[in-house]
A and B are shown apart, each in its own frame.
Chain A
């Protein structure tokens, strides 16, 4: 159940799932080094004007990946599963969006820490 998981964790899981779709290996090393710093500023900018979680994710994904995206079935399923989990409860969905809007930098800190720990 979505309500069993904290809003912090759901926000981090969502951003992490989007991050997982990006082929970071194809991105120049100097950009990759500042990856989280750049991503956090993007999240802050996009979240500010996003009216729904879907809109936010779509624009965030586009910002990172450009127009075309080649993804494995597994990675896509990961994003879909977590999104379904959040959207199962409309109140929760709104809470997650508001959390990312209020705490864009912290949301990125959280997902970056999760990735570092191999979660």
Chain B
């Protein structure tokens, strides 16, 4: 037992808490936390303010909550208040170097008045106070409306090939978004990446006055500077054990090292949200930064990248209409039931494989809708590559808890209560993606079995989730996933690891006292996960 106790305390200091961050905000009245990372929250607000074209509005958005990590709390009439900005003249102005060409006074004014109801034109306030990505509560099921400050591409997922194509279009959209956000930011602020440095505040005690706290703070913990095409902002955090960097920008892919995370804009600012099982529709939502990407553009970009696909009798526009469910054909698609106009030749392997439909067996040319025609040919191509795919979904939160080092400072975060915004879902999706990357790299077994994210002052225990639109085993040709409610952690030959099983594995790890490495090794051996990365 002694050994077990020792391991637990060692774990508390291990890499398992990656990625680190600070809670973005609490709900104004109840003070219940909105789960989102502070740096991500500021990037979302800034992205929404790209539409204003104002460098001051964008920079102010990127900096507006930068003192939140100092954990300055003060009891007020309506409960505790999280003090996070200073009204002292010049405090922000002096942080902004001349190399960043903005009206620094204006930036300061935006930040200092972002909670002032009299400042109705405040760009930060206008993003934070409407039912948009920051405050929109219902995020998994978006009904008819698209929340303010977001845009959406609608896709209909009524069949297996539709999932496959939607997966690819989502990937393409994220790349397009990354380029667009990066280019727009460069036009406005002459940078295309934003780098947040979480640094220890090195304060001996907690404060209840923000200006007292800033006075005691080492000035090096507060910096804003430009380096090449990147804007750097430090975020001092009280009782932070080690520094950590989170960058958002024009990157090709999500990348991580032990203490840094690089998130492409497209990953940070978009989300696949479902309308629910009945309509079978999904929205590819993204933060509205003043530009529009149409489904036609995404489909065309995707088709341009495709190589070696046989001729398809439909245009890019037909495919886009079909994917969104508005293509009207004279016939019904044999795969998904949507409108179809053209017959498609099926390959011999469709007939000879063990799992084929009677329709496919009897006729080599079927009416197929534009989406399924592309999806079918993609499947044929992928069959040869023997590849699996995953669409990371927002992680499930299984527990949140106040970190003990903040016990005496914060008395209102108790229990598991939290709120979720669209932006928070985007962050949870990143948590999932980070987990899958590390699974692929076979990195840090303890993190894989018991993943947690620090959003100081709380720690968030989460379960990664993904949808697998294309799976195969030795026995089955393909098990294409078409259900809307079928997120899994890992599909496996013997037993799928769903959220419940994952929690049981986590509990076993916490109680058994065996090393994470040997547990993980045996899980792979016994469950036989199908997704091994790559």
Contacts and interface: CB of A to CB of B under 8 A. Distances in A.
A31 interface: no
A112 to B, nearest CB: 4
Contact of B522 (A8, A102, A103, A116): A116
A105 B529 CA distance: 13
A interface residue count range (under 10 / 10 to 19 / 20 to 34 / 35 or more)? 20 to 34
Interface in B491-534: 494-495, 501, 504-505, 507-508, 511-515, 518-519, 521-523, 525-528
Nearest to B508: A8
A97 interface: no
A112 B519 CA distance: 8
Contact of A103 (B504, B518, B525): B504
A116 B515 CA distance: 10
Contact of B504 (A9, A106, A113): A106
Contacts of B501: 103, 106
A113 B514 CA distance: 7
Q: Which of A103, A113, A114 has the most CB of B within 10 A?
A: A113
B336 to A, nearest CB: 35
Contact of A109 (B507, B511, B526): B526
Interface string B216-260: 000000000000000000000000000000000000000000000
A102 B511 CA distance: 17
Contacts, number: 67
A88 B253 CA distance: 56
B522 A112 contact: yes
A113 B494 contact: no
Nearest to B507: A8
A110 B522 CA distance: 8
B interface residue count range (under 10 / 10 to 19 / 20 to 34 / 35 or more)? 20 to 34
Contacts of A8: 507-508, 511-512
Contact of B523 (A6, A109, A117, A119): A109
Given A37-B525, A106-B504, A112-B526, A9 B518 contact: no
Contacts of B507: 8
Contact of B512 (A102, A103, A108, A110): A110
Interface in A85-99: none
Contact of A108 (B511, B513, B526, B528): B526
Contacts of A103: 501, 504, 508
A106 B525 CA distance: 11
Contacts of A119: 513-514
Contact of A105 (B512, B513, B526): B526
Contacts of A37: 494, 525-526, 528
Contact of B508 (A40, A106, A117): A106
A113 B505 contact: no
Contacts of B513: 9, 119
Given A36-B522, A112-B522, A113-B522, A106 B512 contact: no
B525 A113 contact: no
Interface string B44-88: 000000000000000000000000000000000000000000000
A32 interface: no
Nearest to B515: A117
Contacts of B522: 36, 108-110, 112-113, 116
Interface in B302-322: none
B526 A9 contact: no
Given A40-B494, A105-B494, A9 B512 contact: yes
B497 to A, nearest CB: 10
Interface in B442-470: none
Contact of B514 (A6, A105, A106, A117): A117
A41 interface: yes
Interface in A21-51: 36-37, 40-41
Q: Which of A103, A105, A116, A119 has the most CB of B within 10 A?
A: A105
A90 to B, nearest CB: 21
A113 B526 contact: no
Interface string A33-77: 000110011000000000000000000000000000000000000
Contacts of A15: none
Contacts of A105: 494-495, 526-527
30 contacts: A6-B511, A8-B511, A9-B513, A12-B512, A36-B522, A37-B526, A37-B528, A40-B526, A41-B494, A105-B494, A105-B526, A105-B527, A106-B501, A106-B505, A108-B522, A109-B519, A109-B523, A109-B526, A109-B527, A110-B508, A110-B512, A110-B519, A112-B522, A113-B514, A113-B515, A113-B518, A114-B514, A116-B514, A116-B518, A117-B514
Interface of B: 494-495, 501, 504-505, 507-508, 511-515, 518-519, 521-523, 525-528
Interface of A: 6, 8-9, 12, 36-37, 40-41, 102-103, 105-106, 108-110, 112-114, 116-117, 119
Instruction: In the A-B complex, list the 6 residue pairs whose CB atoms are closest, starting with the nearest.
Output: A6-B511, A113-B518, A113-B514, A109-B522, A112-B522, A116-B518
